[in-house]
Structure 1
Amino acid sequence: MDMSDFDGIKRDISLKVEHIFEVYEQEHYCMPTMEEFRTMFNEHIDQYVGPDDSLKGAGLNMSSDTKQRREQKVWRVVNELEAEQRFLRSD
């Protein structure tokens, strides 16, 4: 993954990560655990990776390797953004 991919994905996902933290903190008065955060973000992963059948309607198939590579890119970015949020909110 080159830096332009990473920066583009980071820009797209940063608001979702921040939103998850804000909503959780408002409801629970604490930050989510790593497991809770990842479970909550996982509910939105198809929005960034695309569901398995998203390209089939256009006559294209997304191989499992392609989907796995996309998921890995997204999770790398999410992990970095999660760490940033934890640092910013740890006052």
Structure 2
Amino acid sequence: MDSSEFKRIKQEVSGKVNDIFDDFEESNNRLPTMEELRAIITDTTDHYLGPMDQNVIDGINANLERQHIREKLLWDAVTECEAEVRKSKDYNC
């Protein structure tokens, strides 16, 4: 996966991360902890990662490896978005 794939994933999840922060802050009068954010975003990772092809026996290790790479890219993007949102919210206070 190249940097364009990472940028695409980051662009897709940035809105979700912002929404989570806004909703959580509105409901709880505070920002979510890292653990709370990860628990919330975990529920939506299947949408971004897509299903594994369970019917393919040949090359299953390749499918698993590809899935792990995509999952790592997703979490790297979420982590970057999280840092950006926290930084922007700190400046607004």
Larger Rg: 2
TM-score (norm 1): 0.85
Does residue 80 of the first structure (1) align with residue 80 of the second (2)?
A: yes
Q: State the SS of the aligned residue for 1:89.
A: helix
Unaligned runs of 5+ in 2: none
CA distance in 1, matches of 2:11, 2:45: 15
The one-character-per-residue Cα deviations of 1:56-90 (angstroms, maximum 9, x if unpaired) are: 4xx65762211111100000000000000000111
More deviation in 7-16 or 26-35? 7-16
CA distance in 1, matches of 2:32, 2:3: 29
Unaligned runs of 5+ in 1: none
- 2:21 maps to which residue? 21
The AA in structure 1 aligned to 2:35 is E
Does residue 42 of the first structure (1) align with residue 48 of the second (2)?
A: no
CA distance in 2, matches of 1:87, 1:51: 33
- 1:2 maps to which residue? 2
- Higher RCO (CA-CA < 8 Å; seq separation 6+): 2
- 1:64 maps to which residue? 64
CA distance in 2, matches of 1:11, 1:80: 11
Residue 51 (structure 1) shift: 2.9
TM-score (norm 2): 0.83
CA distance in 2, matches of 1:60, 1:7: 29
- 1:11 maps to which residue? 11
CA distance in 2, matches of 1:27, 1:36: 13
% identical equivalent positions: 36
